[in-house]
Amino acid sequence: MARIFVLQVVLHSLIELVLYMDKGVYAEELAKEYWIWGIVATVFACAMLVGSALFIRRWSYEAFLIGHVLMAVFVIVGCWYHVELPFERIFSRGEPRRGKVGCRDEQFIQGRGW
């Protein structure tokens, strides 16, 4: 699962990089905080994958475990801010905003229909 996650992270990073370079807004986006947090999350996710190699775990499991936990914190925080910052922190205002689909879905589940 971790390898698939890192593969998706790297693909996301490369695709977005190419798209932003084609649009000509790469330099602008690179200076934005959400982009920086995305880089942090990507780097630490890749480092976790490399740091999980069997020879490292055999060499010092305690060092592996401590490093893995610390890097996981950076991945989680980096992912959170990478998603949170572009949407003006709408997720931290208590209740997330819902679109028409979400509201309709909730009404359907509660039996009120469309």
What is the SS3 assignment for the chain?
Answer: CHHHHHHHHHHHHHHHHHHHHHHCCHHHHHCCHHHHHHHHHHHHHHHHHHHCCHHHHHHCHHHHHHHHHHHHHHHHHHHHHHHHHHHCCHHHCCCCCCCHHHHHHHHHHCCCCC
Note whether residue 27 is domain-resident.
yes
**84 or 18, which is more confident:** 18
In this structure, is residue 98 part of a structural domain?
A: yes
pTM: 0.73
Inform me whether the pLDDT recorded for 86 exceeds 90.
no
Question: pLDDT tens digits for 5-59?
Answer: 999 999 999 999 999 999 999 999 899 999 999 999 999 999 999 999 999 999 9
Q: 92: domain range?
A: 2-109
Predicted local distance difference test score (pLDDT) of residue 55: 92
Query: Is 114 part of a structural domain of the chain?
Result: no
